[in-house]
Amino acid sequence: MLALAHTLISEGLHDKAFLDRYCVGYDEFERYLLGLDDGVPKDAVWASTITEVSAADIVALARRMATSRTFITVTWSLQRIEHGEQPVWAGIALAAMLGQIGLPGGGFGHGYGSMGDTGDIGPELRAPKLPQDSNPVQEFIPVARIANMLLNPGTRYDYDGTVRTYPDIHLVYWAGGNPFHHHQDLNRLRTAFTKPDTVVVHEPYWTATARHADFVLPTTVPLEREDFGSGRRDTHLIAMHQVVEPFGQARDDYAILAELATRLGIEERFTEGRSPRAWLEHLYESWRKDLLDKGIPVPSFVDFWSHGQYELPAGDVERTVFADFRHDPVAHRLPTPSGKIEITSQRVKSFGYEDCPGHPAWLEPSEWLGGPRAESFPLQLIANQPRTRLHSQLDGGAVSQAGKVAGREAVRIHPEDARTRSIGNGDVVRIFNDRGACLAGAVVTPDLRRGVVQLPTGAWFDPAGSLCLHGNPNVLTADLPSSSLSQGCTGQHVLVEIERYDGTPPPVTIGQPPHIARDRARTSDVPMRDNS
């Protein structure tokens, strides 16, 4: 993207009028592109040595982009790496240089293809929801810094221009989510989870997070409870009827928290005297009243629940993102300090972060094939989203299991890389680096380049020492932040080596419940549903 931008400058194809009116900080970015300060022009020849895309192709693409309506879209995956802010920022800068932001079919977008509602112009009505009170606890940490917090209480760290301090956590109470799926360096996270005095988890399945808890409170799944169903800009509000009775002793999160509130002496403050069904009716009717006041006809709760759904009023027929800003950048300021597109941010620059300067830049990552670490671990592993499940959800289900190879997550490898390692299609292989290792099933295919292997995220973590028996790539990834600005995760890329696993591999054990230490005063088992 930097080389495309350099070509636009060198051939006079950038939209100077747009940059002057709608942007700030372009001149400083241009100096960087031209190499006026560091002596390194970010031209097509320079980029070709890094990307292996020919300089001629880069130049031709830049010319084509400047002579037609062009939309720059950056996927979410590009931000889940070291310096992950840079490709997103560079995409915005490139779109600004083309001058098409605010025009139909042009400009910039983020996450198209990642979320079904990105760019959707459907209804914008929020579903009925609980009122959000203010949280009296103002402390927080970035979600990717969980292990750092637990292992290093009292340590100071940078975040978005501030210096924060990790709190000393003695109790972890986790309801919703699965850090042993989305966190990096899982062996380090396992150590971190031994630091708190107590870990409590709400969970319907024996996930890795549940297996690392002291207490697991079995919860219901959606089919076992009543609720509303609707996402952002969905066309309908769905009445989610209970289909089956809760399994074993599973209870709703609401029922669990209400019981805790009772033991704390605040039951009435928490429940307000309402059952789950009474809350649904109360939230719906409050929401309905607001819509009726706006002249929007909405059925009663009884009719809605009986019918099973309500079609939400349609949104705008047509909308172009940033069109109002383009029409009048003063009346429709952007939520930036300048109110404009900040190609160079003086605020970010003032933070002085070496890993996130004030404008888009190429910053060499520690884990890539062009760096010294590749001498020890010569394969670039891409940890992509799986095709057979969403993240780690339903990994035990039939669709996800059908994608396994030898009962483990499938790793794709180029035939030449497989040949030099005596790996055949269907072999169990060991993927490793200096952080850990995992077993996977080899799929030999020419559909990816040499030097790159692909292992999807989401195989349920099944540790045996530092080895994951099931193929979770996060035993390999580094627990490093994308930058001091965001402290985001870097789980997309990691350098590894692969070898064939000779002998009989140990069995995958995620289908078996863990050992449970029960109170001797209790004789009854508390069943958890099967992982499948």
Q: Which of 304-313, 449-458, 472-481, 514-523 has the lowest mean pLDDT?
A: 514-523
Residue 119: per-residue pLDDT: 67
Residue 77: per-residue pLDDT: 87
Q: How close are the terminal C-alpha atoms of the chain, in Å?
A: 44
Q: What share of the chain is helix, strand, coil (3-state, %, to 5)?
A: 30, 15, 55
Nearest to 276 by CA among 293, 256, 250: 256
Residue 147 has pLDDT above 60, yes or no: yes
Instruction: Name the burial class of residue 268, with classes exposed (0-12), middle (13-18) and buried (19+) by CB atoms within 10 angstroms of its CB.
Output: exposed
pTM recorded for the entire structure: 0.92
Alpha-carbon distance 58 to 65, whole Å? Answer: 11
DSSP string, 405-462: BTTB-EEEE-HHHHHTTT--TT-EEEEE-SS-EEEEEEEE-TTS-TTEEE--S-PPP-
Residue 282 has pLDDT above 70, yes or no: yes
Give pLDDT tens digits for 65-106.
999 999 999 988 889 999 999 999 999 999 999 999 999 999
Residue 521: per-residue pLDDT: 43
| Predicted confidence band of residue 111 (pLDDT cuts 50, 70, 90) | confident
Residue 520 has pLDDT above 50, yes or no: no
Q: pLDDT averaged over the chain?
A: 93
Residue 523 has pLDDT above 50, yes or no: no
| Predicted confidence band of residue 524 (pLDDT cuts 50, 70, 90) | very low
Residue 285 has pLDDT above 90, yes or no: yes
Alpha-carbon distance 456 to 410, whole Å? Answer: 8
Determine the average pLDDT of the residues in 395-414: 96
Which residue carries 């005095």 as its tokens? 197
Determine the average pLDDT of the residues in 142-158: 96
Residue 362: per-residue pLDDT: 97
Written in H, E and C, the secondary structure of 232-282 is: CCCCEEEEECCCCCCCCCCECHHHHHHHHHHHCCCHHHHHCCCCHHHHHHH
Alpha-carbon distance 414 to 380, whole Å? Answer: 12
Determine the average pLDDT of the residues in 337-365: 97
Residue 231: per-residue pLDDT: 80
| Predicted confidence band of residue 124 (pLDDT cuts 50, 70, 90) | low
* 143-311 under CATH 3.40.50.740, yes or no: yes
Residue 115 has pLDDT above 80, yes or no: no
Alpha-carbon distance 389 to 378, whole Å? Answer: 29
Residue 515 has pLDDT above 90, yes or no: no
Residue type, 390: L
Residue 279: per-residue pLDDT: 96
Alpha-carbon distance 90 to 83, whole Å? Answer: 12
Q: What kind and span of H or E run contains 45?
A: helix 44-51
Q: Which residue ranges make up each domain of the chain?
A: 2-121+320-351, 143-311, 372-500
Cβ atoms within 10 Å of 262's Cβ, excluding its own: 13
Phi, psi of 280 (to 5 degrees): -60, -45
Determine the average pLDDT of the residues in 371-394: 95
Residue 532: per-residue pLDDT: 46
CATH match for 2-121+320-351 among 3.30.457.10, 3.40.228.10, 3.40.920.10, 3.30.930.10: 3.40.228.10
Nearest to 44 by CA among 68, 16, 63, 29: 63
Residue 505 has pLDDT above 50, yes or no: yes
| Predicted confidence band of residue 131 (pLDDT cuts 50, 70, 90) | confident
| Predicted confidence band of residue 133 (pLDDT cuts 50, 70, 90) | confident
Residue 132 has pLDDT above 90, yes or no: no
Residue 262: per-residue pLDDT: 97
Classify 286 as helix, strand or coil. Answer: helix
Handedness of CA 92, 97, 98, 100 (dihedral sign): positive
Give pLDDT tens digits for 212-262.
999 999 999 999 999 999 887 788 999 999 999 999 999 999 999 999 999
What CATH code would you report for 372-500?
2.40.40.20
